[in-house]
Amino acid sequence: MLRSGQPLTGPNRKRCHEDEMLLGSVLEERERGFVIDTRSAQAAKQARMTGGGTEPKSSYPQWKRLHQPLERGRPLQESFIKLVEACNDASLGMDRWLARLESCRWLSHVKAALSTACLAAQCVDREQASVLVHGAEGTDTTLLVTALAQVILDPACRTLAGFQGLLEREWIQAGHPFHLRCARSAYSHARLKQEAPLFLLFLDCVWQLSRQFPFSLEFGEGLLLTLFDNAYASNYGTFLCNNEKERCLCKVKESTHSLWAWLDQPEEKKKYLNPLYSPNPLAIWPSVEPQSIQLWQGLFFRWIRSSQYLDEAWAEMRRLVE
């Protein structure tokens, strides 16, 4: 599985022989690969007018392009804000709540992300094919898809240490702009152009996997909530800045502590482990049927509904397992 930004073909359909050789070297003579573009065909076509574009079939004859459009900007942020507002509106009756939940379209974004990740994973696992995933810059929906596909396919990414490594590799080092995307919370009245909860969408999708496969992930919901909190406001430097270059210029590693080092302390680590975990060497294929995608109540209701009894149940479950 490969990831990249969009090819810069532009309106004149320029070629890059180095790119063509690079992708050609991935495949044997009669093998085929898939390019999963997380933009719509129309958006990818429009991108040519500003210098971007897609891989021309004539230049990449062994690669088949598939468009799986995922929201990455303002629509996703507005969906997040509308969902939080609906969750905090105590005056809603059942009909109005269900209508508000549907109109915000957050669960549709979750379904689309999981569906695209499953497509990428199936190409690798069942077609035995190479896959290139990209959107525009390759630092938003691209990372969402590649990271989720690895959780689905790779048992190592479903361990606590493996999941931390996945986040470091696929989100932090790959250049997801946390400073821009997580600049404000959903409660802010500011509407910043660059803000979008892509990382939250990823965490929500992982929660969906953990709910459908409760024995297959070594970590529980508590870790996902902690990661969400630290992406928006943190005592640690792990999610600071927009890319590795900025972190080097700001000397983040020298002047801040690492979230991973804190989580790996024995007493802290114990809090985040799933007591029901049983290593599963197989891929986990989630259902994306409407009945299977649920609202992440542990996150979206956490400020309006006490989790005391659920926490006590988890503590008792952990005690029984030990």
pLDDT computed for residue 7 by the predictor:
94
Quote the tokens at residue 201. 């969408």
Q: Where are the domains of the chain?
A: 79-125+135-321
Q: For residue range 69-112, what is the model confidence (pLDDT) as tens digits?
A: 999 888 999 999 999 999 999 898 999 999 999 999 999 999 99
**Other CB atoms within 10 Å distance of the CB of residue 152:** 24
Which residue from 252, 271, 268 is spatially nearest to 260, judged by alpha carbons? Answer: 268
pLDDT computed for residue 197 by the predictor:
95
pLDDT computed for residue 185 by the predictor:
78
The H or E element spanning position 63 is strand 63-67
Four-point Cα dihedral 209, 214, 220, 224, nearest 10: 10
pLDDT computed for residue 283 by the predictor:
97
**Other CB atoms within 10 Å distance of the CB of residue 298:** 17
Quote the tokens at residue 313. 């149940």
pLDDT computed for residue 307 by the predictor:
72
pLDDT computed for residue 186 by the predictor:
75
pLDDT computed for residue 169 by the predictor:
97
Query: Can you list the residues of the chain whose pLDDT is less than 70?
Result: none
Please name every residue paired with 67 in a beta bridge, in sequence order, or none if there are none: 37
What's this model's pTM, rounded to 2 decimal places?
0.93
Please write down the long-range contacts of 48-51, taking CB distance under 8 Å and 24 or more positions apart.
48/9, 48/10, 48/11, 48/13, 49/11, 51/8, 51/10
Burial of 17 from C-beta contacts in 10 A (0-12 / 13-18 / 19+): exposed
CA distance 253 to 123: 37
